[in-house]
Structure 1
Amino acid sequence: MAPVTGTAVDLDAVPDPVFSKGLVGPGMAVEPERTAGRAVSPITGTIVKLHPHAFVVVGDDGRGVLVHLGIDTVQLRGEGFETLAAEGDRVGAGQPVVAWDPARVAAGGRSPVCAVVALDAPAEAVTTLARGPVRAGDGLFRWAWAP
């Protein structure tokens, strides 16, 4: 599911080669609306890693999805982000995990684009479901591969 409302774009549009070249894994990205809001969990599962700017949720099937809110946002050291959950929490798909303001990220000269990555998946396992406008919670991509 899309973690934020905005415009779904291919991962190769992300201005960071780690994401755009699929080095972390295949997926999609969302260019978010420039309004403060909440990033939601893209799947039901357990939060195994949570930073203010990024989080990983692992589903019961063992598949992990990374949501990275903006590029180079780790440099903000949490400023402008508020975690709404904790590592180890069980979350439902669509449940808020982080509050943030993409306009504030952009005003600081960083891209607020949100990468959504299927961790440890082969590229052919991900099928795009959305292009263009999406709302948080809309289908973004399908992951057909099972570990």
Structure 2
Amino acid sequence: MTLRVLAPVAGTVLDLTEVPDPVFSGAIVGPGVAVDPGDAETAEAVAPVAGTIMKIHPHAFVIVTEAGRGVLVHLGLDTVQLGGEGFTLHAAEKDVVEQGQVLVTWSPAAVRAGGRSAVTPVIALEGKADQLTTTATAGHTVSPGDELFAWS
């Protein structure tokens, strides 16, 4: 079964190798893509897949689908250091969510103003690169809910 993974945020698609963090750019936690949300004052992060929220922090969340596949969304880089400041959660761990449901409101502009990157990796946890077919290639602009990749 193929899982269609949607963009959690609006912005420009980046190849994972372009993410300025070795854990993500080296696909250590899994393959995927990233989205650069630019300098939006306020942005909503939506669920890229339907499933159960297994972990949610203000800056990141993991959703596990009914089939057991996990997708990680990390809102910006080094944003854990913000201690949740500038992020508003709209869901909690163990919530069952629909694809496209708003989970977090945040400010990419505030993240950048604090000297951090707002680049948002979207990772197929425990996936393999050859299982992903990228739909939105690097340089393309996406809106929340646009397909990023298919995971077969």
Asked whether the two chains share a fold, i.e. TM above 0.5, the reply is: yes
Check the 8 A contact 2:38/2:118 in 1, yes or no: no
| CA distance in structure 2 between the partners assigned to 1:11 and 1:30 by the alignment | 9
Secondary structure of the residue aligned to 1:19 is helix
Query: What is aligned with 2:69?
Result: 63
User: Aligned to 1:124, which of 126, 130, 135?
Assistant: 130
- Find the residue that maps to 2:48 and give its secondary structure: coil
Choose which of 21, 25, 28 in structure 1 pairs with 2:26.
21
**1:126 to partner: Cα distance:** 1.0
- Which residue of structure 2 aligns with residue 45 of structure 1? 51
Task: Summarize the alignment of residues 1-147 of structure 1 with structure 2, pairs less than 5 Å apart.
Answer: 1-35=6-40, 36-131=42-137, 132-144=140-152
Report the Cα distance in structure 2 between the residues aligned to 1:90 and 1:75, rounded to whole angstroms. Answer: 27
Q: Over aligned residues, Cα RMSD in angstroms?
A: 0.6
Number of residue pairs matched by the alignment:
144
User: For 1:108 and 1:92, how far apart are their aligned partners in 2?
Assistant: 32
Q: CA deviation digits over 1:31-70, x for unaligned, max 9?
A: 0132202100000000000000000000000000000000
Task: Tell me, in whole angstroms, the C-alpha distance in 2 between the residues paired with 1:64 and 1:134.
Answer: 22
- Alignment deviations for residues 85-130 of structure 1 (CA, whole Å, 9 cap, x no partner): 0000010000001110000000000000000000001111111100
**Runs (4+) of structure 1 moved beyond 6 Å?**
none
What TM-score, normalized to structure 1?
0.96
| Unpaired runs of at least 5, structure 2 | 1-5
- C-alpha deviation, 1:9, in angstroms: 1.1
Give the Å deviation of 1:142: 0.7
Identity value in percent? 58
1: distance between equivalents of 2:50 and 2:39?
A: 26
